[in-house]
């Protein structure tokens, strides 16, 4: 695994942000994701007139990577007009595929204002596959005792 270059991720996120389809919010977002294999995946937000069908840039990048066979990621960069942070749905999806200590860079479109954080700081006490399995085991134990 190569050294993580957050600046390169930020540049790619800024580039893909230009391709966003955001006619309703006019809030263009770009994301770049680095997998454990060293490959980079990008995504932009794609809005829809039926707002609930909109897909955020972060999830778009992750889903693209998943469709290419990746399952683990080591860094994420997100670029918006003002350095905005991922929404709650994106935070949960990010938490599913990245370690809590993985770096996340949030930047404005000029890349002059960059905030560094981690996946765990974005979603403290996030819901994990392990917590799901633990809950399923507890339910199964109760069912078998009845």
Helix axes 57-67, 88-97, angle to 10 degrees: 30
Tokens of residue 120, six digits = 């765990």
What would the two tokens of residue 94 be? Answer: 């990010």
10 Å Cβ neighbour count for 60? Answer: 23
Cite the active site residues: 58
Tell me how far apart the alpha carbons of residues 36 and 46 are, in angstroms, rounded to a whole number.
Answer: 26
3-state secondary structure of 76: strand
Q: Length of the chain, please?
A: 146
Residue 34's H or E segment, with its range, is: strand 30-35
Q: H-type helices in the chain, by residue range? A: 6-17, 57-67, 88-97, 119-122, 129-145
């Amino acid at each position: 695994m190569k050294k993580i270059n957050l600046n390169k991720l930020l540049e790619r996120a800024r580039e893909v942000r230009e391709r966003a389809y955001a006619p309703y919010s006019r809030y263009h977002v770009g994301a770049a994701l680095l997998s454990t294999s060293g490959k980079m995946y990008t995504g932009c937000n794609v809005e829809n007139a039926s707002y609930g069908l909109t897909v955020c840039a972060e999830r778009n990048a992750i889903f693209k990577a998943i469709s290419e066979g990746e399952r683990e990621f080591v860094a994420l960069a997100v670029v918006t007009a003002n350095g905005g942070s991922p929404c709650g749905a994106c935070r949960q999806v990010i938490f599913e595929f990245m370690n809590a200590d993985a770096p996340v860079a949030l930047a404005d479109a000029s890349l002059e204002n960059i905030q560094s954080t981690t996946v765990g700081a974005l979603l403290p006490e996030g819901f994990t596959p392990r917590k799901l399995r633990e809950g399923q085991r507890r339910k199964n134990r109760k069912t078998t005792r009845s």
